[in-house]
Amino acid sequence: MKLDLPRLESVYEMAHDGAQLAATRFTNSLEIDTRVRNTRIAFGTPPTSAADERSVAVAIDLDGFLDGRCFVEFDESIVATIQRRLVGGRFDEPDPALGRSALREVGAMLNNGFVDGWADALDADIDVSPPSIESIGTPQRQVTASEPLELSFWSQIDTVDHSRAFTLCFVPTADCVERLVSTDAGERAIEASALRGLDTLLENGVASMSDTVTAMTGIEVETPTNRLEFISIDRLPARVSNGRYRSVAFSFHDTPSGYLLFLFDHDGASALVRELFGEPSHNGAMARDAIQELANVMTSSLLDGWANVLETTIDHSTPAYTDDMGAAVIDPLVVGLSERQEFAFVFSFQLRAIDTSIELDVYTIPDEADLLRALRLLETKPIEPVAQPPSFTPTEATPTAFAVGDLLESDHP
Protein backbone atom coordinates (compact mmCIF):
# COMPACT_ATOMS: atom_id res chain seq x y z
CA MET A 1 0.00 0.00 0.00
CA LYS A 2 1.18 3.50 -0.82
CA LEU A 3 0.31 6.56 1.24
CA ASP A 4 -0.61 9.60 -0.84
CA LEU A 5 0.62 12.81 0.79
CA PRO A 6 -1.92 15.13 -0.94
CA ARG A 7 -4.74 12.89 0.34
CA LEU A 8 -3.16 12.82 3.80
CA GLU A 9 -3.15 16.64 3.79
CA SER A 10 -6.84 16.66 2.78
CA VAL A 11 -7.92 14.27 5.54
CA TYR A 12 -5.81 16.25 8.02
CA GLU A 13 -7.86 19.33 7.16
CA MET A 14 -11.09 17.32 7.47
CA ALA A 15 -10.06 16.19 10.95
CA HIS A 16 -9.18 19.76 11.91
CA ASP A 17 -12.49 21.09 10.54
CA GLY A 18 -14.36 18.30 12.36
CA ALA A 19 -12.64 19.30 15.60
CA GLN A 20 -13.54 22.96 14.98
CA LEU A 21 -17.18 21.97 14.50
CA ALA A 22 -17.15 19.93 17.72
CA ALA A 23 -15.52 22.82 19.63
CA THR A 24 -18.13 25.26 18.29
CA ARG A 25 -20.98 23.00 19.39
CA PHE A 26 -19.39 22.63 22.83
CA THR A 27 -19.04 26.40 23.14
CA ASN A 28 -22.62 27.03 22.03
CA SER A 29 -24.12 24.36 24.29
CA LEU A 30 -22.16 24.93 27.49
CA GLU A 31 -21.17 28.57 27.04
CA ILE A 32 -17.54 27.65 27.68
CA ASP A 33 -15.39 29.25 25.00
CA THR A 34 -13.10 26.66 23.40
CA ARG A 35 -10.74 26.51 20.43
CA VAL A 36 -8.78 23.84 18.62
CA ARG A 37 -5.17 24.14 19.75
CA ASN A 38 -3.77 21.76 17.16
CA THR A 39 -4.52 18.69 15.08
CA ARG A 40 -2.02 15.95 14.30
CA ILE A 41 -1.90 12.57 12.63
CA ALA A 42 0.08 10.06 14.69
CA PHE A 43 1.69 7.03 13.06
CA GLY A 44 2.06 3.67 14.73
CA THR A 45 0.07 2.30 17.65
CA PRO A 46 -2.33 5.00 18.85
CA PRO A 47 -0.57 6.77 21.70
CA THR A 48 -2.06 6.97 25.14
CA SER A 49 -3.20 10.40 26.06
CA ALA A 50 -1.35 12.95 28.12
CA ALA A 51 -4.57 13.34 30.07
CA ASP A 52 -4.62 12.48 33.73
CA GLU A 53 -5.56 8.89 34.50
CA ARG A 54 -8.51 10.18 36.50
CA SER A 55 -9.92 11.56 33.25
CA VAL A 56 -12.51 9.66 31.25
CA ALA A 57 -13.31 9.03 27.61
CA VAL A 58 -16.62 8.82 25.76
CA ALA A 59 -16.37 6.60 22.70
CA ILE A 60 -18.53 5.77 19.70
CA ASP A 61 -18.03 3.17 17.00
CA LEU A 62 -18.24 4.27 13.39
CA ASP A 63 -19.41 2.26 10.43
CA GLY A 64 -19.60 3.25 6.80
CA PHE A 65 -17.10 5.30 4.84
CA LEU A 66 -15.47 6.16 8.15
CA ASP A 67 -14.91 2.91 10.00
CA GLY A 68 -13.24 2.69 13.40
CA ARG A 69 -13.54 4.38 16.79
CA CYS A 70 -14.01 7.99 17.62
CA PHE A 71 -13.61 9.16 21.20
CA VAL A 72 -13.25 12.25 23.28
CA GLU A 73 -11.03 12.33 26.35
CA PHE A 74 -12.12 14.80 28.99
CA ASP A 75 -9.71 16.21 31.50
CA GLU A 76 -10.89 15.89 35.08
CA SER A 77 -11.39 19.63 35.56
CA ILE A 78 -13.67 19.97 32.54
CA VAL A 79 -15.69 16.90 33.61
CA ALA A 80 -16.54 18.70 36.84
CA THR A 81 -17.42 21.88 34.94
CA ILE A 82 -19.66 20.02 32.48
CA GLN A 83 -21.50 18.26 35.28
CA ARG A 84 -21.95 21.51 37.20
CA ARG A 85 -23.28 23.27 34.12
CA LEU A 86 -25.71 20.53 33.15
CA VAL A 87 -26.94 19.16 36.46
CA GLY A 88 -25.68 21.62 39.06
CA GLY A 89 -28.30 23.31 41.19
CA ARG A 90 -30.95 20.69 40.60
CA PHE A 91 -30.06 18.61 43.59
CA ASP A 92 -28.64 19.24 47.02
CA GLU A 93 -26.34 16.25 46.67
CA PRO A 94 -24.44 15.31 43.48
CA ASP A 95 -26.12 12.49 41.59
CA PRO A 96 -23.44 10.22 39.98
CA ALA A 97 -25.91 8.67 37.53
CA LEU A 98 -27.02 12.08 36.34
CA GLY A 99 -23.41 13.20 36.12
CA ARG A 100 -22.54 10.23 33.91
CA SER A 101 -25.57 10.87 31.78
CA ALA A 102 -24.52 14.51 31.27
CA LEU A 103 -21.00 13.46 30.34
CA ARG A 104 -22.29 10.84 27.90
CA GLU A 105 -24.53 13.42 26.30
CA VAL A 106 -21.73 15.96 25.84
CA GLY A 107 -19.35 13.24 24.62
CA ALA A 108 -21.88 12.14 22.01
CA MET A 109 -22.38 15.74 20.88
CA LEU A 110 -18.62 16.22 20.42
CA ASN A 111 -18.02 12.90 18.67
CA ASN A 112 -20.98 13.50 16.37
CA GLY A 113 -19.78 17.03 15.64
CA PHE A 114 -16.36 15.70 14.74
CA VAL A 115 -17.85 13.02 12.49
CA ASP A 116 -20.26 15.52 10.89
CA GLY A 117 -17.26 17.62 9.86
CA TRP A 118 -15.90 14.63 7.96
CA ALA A 119 -19.27 13.56 6.58
CA ASP A 120 -19.90 17.04 5.17
CA ALA A 121 -16.54 17.09 3.42
CA LEU A 122 -16.77 13.51 2.17
CA ASP A 123 -20.48 13.67 1.34
CA ALA A 124 -20.73 10.19 2.83
CA ASP A 125 -23.06 8.37 5.21
CA ILE A 126 -21.49 7.35 8.50
CA ASP A 127 -23.35 5.27 11.09
CA VAL A 128 -22.51 5.87 14.73
CA SER A 129 -23.14 3.66 17.76
CA PRO A 130 -24.53 4.90 21.09
CA PRO A 131 -21.81 6.46 23.26
CA SER A 132 -20.09 4.60 26.06
CA ILE A 133 -18.03 5.98 28.94
CA GLU A 134 -14.64 4.32 29.23
CA SER A 135 -11.46 4.82 31.18
CA ILE A 136 -8.59 6.66 29.56
CA GLY A 137 -6.60 4.54 27.12
CA THR A 138 -9.39 2.01 26.63
CA PRO A 139 -10.96 3.28 23.38
CA GLN A 140 -7.79 3.05 21.31
CA ARG A 141 -7.24 -0.53 22.46
CA GLN A 142 -10.62 -1.55 21.04
CA VAL A 143 -9.53 -1.03 17.44
CA THR A 144 -7.84 -3.89 15.63
CA ALA A 145 -4.32 -2.97 14.55
CA SER A 146 -4.60 -1.38 11.14
CA GLU A 147 -1.66 -2.91 9.28
CA PRO A 148 -0.14 -2.16 6.86
CA LEU A 149 -0.34 1.40 8.10
CA GLU A 150 -1.49 2.42 11.57
CA LEU A 151 -2.49 6.01 12.01
CA SER A 152 -4.79 8.04 14.23
CA PHE A 153 -6.12 11.60 14.23
CA TRP A 154 -5.81 13.76 17.34
CA SER A 155 -7.12 17.25 18.05
CA GLN A 156 -6.55 19.05 21.32
CA ILE A 157 -9.20 21.57 22.31
CA ASP A 158 -8.44 24.23 24.92
CA THR A 159 -10.64 26.54 26.91
CA VAL A 160 -10.16 30.25 26.43
CA ASP A 161 -8.04 30.36 29.59
CA HIS A 162 -5.65 28.05 27.71
CA SER A 163 -6.10 24.92 29.79
CA ARG A 164 -6.78 21.63 28.04
CA ALA A 165 -10.51 20.90 27.84
CA PHE A 166 -10.69 17.70 25.85
CA THR A 167 -8.97 15.70 23.14
CA LEU A 168 -10.79 14.27 20.13
CA CYS A 169 -9.41 11.16 18.49
CA PHE A 170 -10.34 8.99 15.55
CA VAL A 171 -8.64 5.60 15.08
CA PRO A 172 -9.61 4.20 11.66
CA THR A 173 -9.58 0.53 10.74
CA ALA A 174 -7.17 -0.80 8.12
CA ASP A 175 -9.82 -0.69 5.38
CA CYS A 176 -10.71 2.86 6.30
CA VAL A 177 -7.07 3.98 6.24
CA GLU A 178 -6.79 2.54 2.76
CA ARG A 179 -9.97 4.30 1.60
CA LEU A 180 -8.80 7.61 3.02
CA VAL A 181 -5.14 7.91 2.08
CA SER A 182 -3.93 5.19 -0.30
CA THR A 183 -2.90 5.58 -3.91
CA ASP A 184 -1.40 3.43 -6.63
CA ALA A 185 1.35 5.84 -7.59
CA GLY A 186 2.36 9.47 -7.46
CA GLU A 187 5.29 11.82 -6.98
CA ARG A 188 4.37 12.30 -3.34
CA ALA A 189 3.44 8.70 -2.57
CA ILE A 190 5.15 6.77 0.21
CA GLU A 191 5.29 3.00 0.54
CA ALA A 192 3.69 2.09 3.89
CA SER A 193 6.55 -0.29 4.67
CA ALA A 194 9.02 2.59 4.23
CA LEU A 195 7.07 4.73 6.69
CA ARG A 196 7.11 1.87 9.20
CA GLY A 197 10.85 1.58 8.52
CA LEU A 198 11.24 5.29 9.22
CA ASP A 199 9.42 4.89 12.52
CA THR A 200 11.78 2.06 13.50
CA LEU A 201 14.79 4.07 12.33
CA LEU A 202 13.71 6.98 14.49
CA GLU A 203 13.11 4.76 17.51
CA ASN A 204 16.53 3.18 17.08
CA GLY A 205 17.96 6.71 16.90
CA VAL A 206 16.33 7.59 20.22
CA ALA A 207 17.80 4.45 21.80
CA SER A 208 21.22 5.38 20.46
CA MET A 209 20.86 8.95 21.75
CA SER A 210 19.82 7.67 25.17
CA ASP A 211 22.89 5.44 25.31
CA THR A 212 25.03 8.40 24.34
CA VAL A 213 23.60 10.54 27.13
CA THR A 214 24.21 7.78 29.66
CA ALA A 215 27.75 7.21 28.40
CA MET A 216 28.54 10.93 28.56
CA THR A 217 26.93 11.75 31.85
CA GLY A 218 26.39 8.54 33.78
CA ILE A 219 22.71 9.47 33.99
CA GLU A 220 20.22 6.75 33.08
CA VAL A 221 17.38 8.10 30.96
CA GLU A 222 13.99 6.97 29.67
CA THR A 223 11.88 8.23 26.77
CA PRO A 224 8.27 8.37 27.96
CA THR A 225 6.97 9.92 24.73
CA ASN A 226 8.21 9.16 21.29
CA ARG A 227 6.12 9.85 18.21
CA LEU A 228 6.14 10.38 14.49
CA GLU A 229 3.43 12.81 13.46
CA PHE A 230 2.14 14.67 10.46
CA ILE A 231 1.10 18.23 11.18
CA SER A 232 0.36 21.53 9.48
CA ILE A 233 3.49 23.65 9.84
CA ASP A 234 1.45 26.66 10.94
CA ARG A 235 0.15 24.63 13.89
CA LEU A 236 3.55 23.32 14.95
CA PRO A 237 4.36 26.20 17.36
CA ALA A 238 1.21 25.30 19.33
CA ARG A 239 2.83 21.89 20.04
CA VAL A 240 5.67 23.60 21.90
CA SER A 241 5.37 25.12 25.34
CA ASN A 242 6.06 28.82 25.59
CA GLY A 243 8.05 28.43 28.78
CA ARG A 244 11.67 29.53 28.81
CA TYR A 245 14.17 26.97 27.56
CA ARG A 246 17.87 26.61 27.03
CA SER A 247 17.71 25.54 23.39
CA VAL A 248 20.15 24.14 20.87
CA ALA A 249 19.26 23.97 17.17
CA PHE A 250 21.00 22.22 14.29
CA SER A 251 20.36 21.97 10.59
CA PHE A 252 21.31 18.75 8.81
CA HIS A 253 21.90 18.20 5.14
CA ASP A 254 21.69 15.59 2.37
CA THR A 255 19.33 12.59 2.61
CA PRO A 256 17.43 13.55 4.64
CA SER A 257 17.82 17.22 5.49
CA GLY A 258 16.01 19.33 8.05
CA TYR A 259 16.29 20.67 11.57
CA LEU A 260 16.84 19.31 15.05
CA LEU A 261 15.84 21.26 18.12
CA PHE A 262 16.71 20.42 21.74
CA LEU A 263 14.72 22.19 24.45
CA PHE A 264 16.10 21.90 28.00
CA ASP A 265 13.80 23.41 30.60
CA HIS A 266 15.70 25.69 32.95
CA ASP A 267 15.41 23.54 36.06
CA GLY A 268 16.40 20.44 34.12
CA ALA A 269 19.35 22.19 32.50
CA SER A 270 20.57 23.38 35.89
CA ALA A 271 20.20 19.86 37.31
CA LEU A 272 22.09 18.43 34.33
CA VAL A 273 24.96 20.85 34.76
CA ARG A 274 25.05 20.12 38.50
CA GLU A 275 25.26 16.41 37.72
CA LEU A 276 28.07 17.03 35.26
CA PHE A 277 30.17 19.39 37.29
CA GLY A 278 29.03 18.67 40.80
CA GLU A 279 28.88 21.39 43.45
CA PRO A 280 29.82 24.18 43.70
CA SER A 281 27.91 25.51 40.75
CA HIS A 282 29.31 26.45 37.41
CA ASN A 283 29.37 29.71 35.56
CA GLY A 284 26.89 30.55 32.78
CA ALA A 285 29.27 30.07 29.88
CA MET A 286 30.32 26.61 31.09
CA ALA A 287 26.71 25.59 31.49
CA ARG A 288 25.89 26.80 28.01
CA ASP A 289 28.87 24.98 26.52
CA ALA A 290 28.05 21.76 28.36
CA ILE A 291 24.46 21.77 27.09
CA GLN A 292 25.60 22.67 23.60
CA GLU A 293 28.18 19.91 23.57
CA LEU A 294 25.75 17.31 24.87
CA ALA A 295 23.26 18.24 22.14
CA ASN A 296 26.05 18.13 19.57
CA VAL A 297 27.09 14.60 20.50
CA MET A 298 23.46 13.44 20.62
CA THR A 299 22.88 14.88 17.15
CA SER A 300 25.93 13.07 15.75
CA SER A 301 24.73 9.86 17.36
CA LEU A 302 21.29 10.17 15.81
CA LEU A 303 22.38 11.21 12.33
CA ASP A 304 25.23 8.70 12.11
CA GLY A 305 22.71 5.95 12.83
CA TRP A 306 20.47 7.16 10.01
CA ALA A 307 23.36 7.55 7.61
CA ASN A 308 24.57 4.01 8.30
CA VAL A 309 21.18 2.49 7.54
CA LEU A 310 20.49 4.69 4.51
CA GLU A 311 24.09 4.39 3.29
CA THR A 312 24.23 8.15 2.83
CA THR A 313 26.16 10.98 4.39
CA ILE A 314 24.31 13.38 6.65
CA ASP A 315 26.23 16.46 7.73
CA HIS A 316 25.04 18.77 10.43
CA SER A 317 25.69 22.40 11.28
CA THR A 318 27.44 23.72 14.33
CA PRO A 319 25.04 24.16 17.27
CA ALA A 320 23.04 27.36 17.62
CA TYR A 321 22.31 28.09 21.28
CA THR A 322 19.68 30.40 22.67
CA ASP A 323 17.84 30.91 25.94
CA ASP A 324 14.32 32.00 25.09
CA MET A 325 10.63 31.07 24.89
CA GLY A 326 10.06 27.61 23.37
CA ALA A 327 7.52 28.75 20.81
CA ALA A 328 9.77 31.64 19.75
CA VAL A 329 12.70 29.26 19.33
CA ILE A 330 10.86 26.87 17.01
CA ASP A 331 9.40 29.84 15.12
CA PRO A 332 12.43 30.50 12.84
CA LEU A 333 12.48 26.79 11.87
CA VAL A 334 8.76 26.92 11.10
CA VAL A 335 9.23 30.08 9.06
CA GLY A 336 12.18 28.55 7.17
CA LEU A 337 10.29 25.37 6.27
CA SER A 338 7.10 27.33 5.55
CA GLU A 339 8.67 28.78 2.47
CA ARG A 340 8.84 25.31 0.92
CA GLN A 341 6.02 23.22 2.40
CA GLU A 342 2.71 23.48 4.23
CA PHE A 343 2.88 20.23 6.23
CA ALA A 344 5.67 18.35 7.93
CA PHE A 345 6.47 14.97 9.39
CA VAL A 346 7.69 15.76 12.87
CA PHE A 347 9.42 13.29 15.12
CA SER A 348 9.40 14.40 18.73
CA PHE A 349 10.38 12.71 21.93
CA GLN A 350 11.12 13.46 25.52
CA LEU A 351 14.24 12.28 27.27
CA ARG A 352 13.83 12.10 31.03
CA ALA A 353 16.45 11.19 33.60
CA ILE A 354 15.49 8.52 36.07
CA ASP A 355 15.64 9.84 39.65
CA THR A 356 16.36 13.47 38.76
CA SER A 357 14.37 16.38 37.35
CA ILE A 358 16.28 16.50 34.08
CA GLU A 359 13.91 16.65 31.08
CA LEU A 360 14.68 17.34 27.48
CA ASP A 361 12.30 17.69 24.52
CA VAL A 362 13.70 16.97 21.07
CA TYR A 363 12.04 17.86 17.76
CA THR A 364 13.23 16.52 14.41
CA ILE A 365 11.65 18.29 11.44
CA PRO A 366 12.81 16.96 8.07
CA ASP A 367 12.45 18.77 4.78
CA GLU A 368 9.75 16.91 2.86
CA ALA A 369 11.53 16.54 -0.50
CA ASP A 370 14.66 15.06 1.08
CA LEU A 371 12.61 12.90 3.44
CA LEU A 372 10.83 11.39 0.43
CA ARG A 373 14.22 10.53 -1.05
CA ALA A 374 15.21 8.85 2.20
CA LEU A 375 11.95 6.92 2.27
CA ARG A 376 12.60 5.62 -1.26
CA LEU A 377 15.88 4.22 0.07
CA LEU A 378 14.04 2.63 3.00
CA GLU A 379 11.66 0.79 0.66
CA THR A 380 14.42 -1.74 0.00
CA LYS A 381 16.03 -1.81 3.43
CA PRO A 382 14.26 -3.75 6.14
CA ILE A 383 15.12 -2.32 9.56
CA GLU A 384 15.05 -4.32 12.74
CA PRO A 385 14.28 -2.55 15.99
CA VAL A 386 17.14 -2.55 18.45
CA ALA A 387 16.62 -4.61 21.57
CA GLN A 388 15.13 -2.60 24.40
CA PRO A 389 17.57 -2.20 27.27
CA PRO A 390 16.65 -3.88 30.54
CA SER A 391 14.79 -1.66 32.93
CA PHE A 392 17.10 0.42 35.04
CA THR A 393 17.33 -0.16 38.75
CA PRO A 394 18.80 2.91 40.36
CA THR A 395 21.62 2.42 42.81
CA GLU A 396 22.74 4.72 45.50
CA ALA A 397 25.99 5.63 43.84
CA THR A 398 25.08 6.37 40.26
CA PRO A 399 28.27 7.43 38.52
CA THR A 400 28.11 10.93 37.10
CA ALA A 401 31.77 11.37 36.62
CA PHE A 402 32.04 11.41 32.85
CA ALA A 403 34.18 14.35 32.09
CA VAL A 404 32.14 16.70 29.96
CA GLY A 405 34.64 19.08 31.43
CA ASP A 406 37.17 17.21 29.29
CA LEU A 407 35.11 18.06 26.22
CA LEU A 408 35.03 21.65 27.30
CA GLU A 409 38.72 21.89 27.87
CA SER A 410 39.38 22.31 24.19
CA ASP A 411 36.95 25.25 24.15
CA HIS A 412 38.28 26.76 27.34
CA PRO A 413 42.03 26.53 27.38
Partner 1 sequence: MTNALEDVLADESDETLVRAGEYRVVPSGASLYAYGLGASVAIAICGPDSMGGLAHALLSRPDGAMRRGAGTFVESAIREMLRELIEAGAGYGSCEAKLAGGATVFQLEGLDPDTGGQTVATARQELSALDVPVVATAVGGQRGRCVAFDTAADELTVATSDGETTQL
Q: Rule CB under 8 A: which residues touch partner 1?
A: 35, 160, 162, 234-238, 240, 242-244, 247, 249-251, 253, 257, 259, 317-318, 320-336, 338-339, 342
254 burial type by CB count under 10 A (0-12 exposed, 13-18 middle, 19+ buried): middle
For residue 362, list its beta bridge partners: 262, 349
For residue 116, give the H/E element and its range.
helix 96-122
Whichever of 160 and 285 has its CB closer to partner 1, that residue is: 160
Whichever of 131 and 258 has its CB closer to partner 1, that residue is: 258
Give least dist CB 328 to partner 1, A.
2
65 burial type by CB count under 10 A (0-12 exposed, 13-18 middle, 19+ buried): middle
DSSP label of 381: -
Give least dist CB 327 to partner 1, A.
3
Contact 65, 122 (CB under 8 A): yes
Whichever of 259 and 306 has its CB closer to partner 1, that residue is: 259
Whichever of 65 and 321 has its CB closer to partner 1, that residue is: 321
Contact 59, 110 (CB under 8 A): no
Whichever of 324 and 355 has its CB closer to partner 1, that residue is: 324
Q: How far is 400 from 182, CA to CA, in rounded Å?
A: 50
- CA-to-CA dists, residue 388 to 41, 206, 249, 299, angstroms: 26, 11, 28, 20
Whichever of 85 and 235 has its CB closer to partner 1, that residue is: 235
Whichever of 86 and 238 has its CB closer to partner 1, that residue is: 238
Give least dist CB 321 to partner 1, A.
7
Contact 59, 134 (CB under 8 A): yes
Give least dist CB 367 to partner 1, A.
9
Give least dist CB 292 to partner 1, A.
11
Give least dist CB 322 to partner 1, A.
5
51: which residues sit within 8 A by CB, 6+ positions away?
73, 74, 75, 136, 164, 167
Whichever of 9 and 95 has its CB closer to partner 1, that residue is: 9
Give least dist CB 59 to partner 1, A.
29
Q: DSSP labels for 239-253?
A: GS--SEEEEEEEEEE
Give least dist CB 13 to partner 1, A.
9
Q: How many C-beta neighbours within 10 Å does residue 271 have?
A: 18
Sign of CA dihedral 327, 361, 340, 199: negative
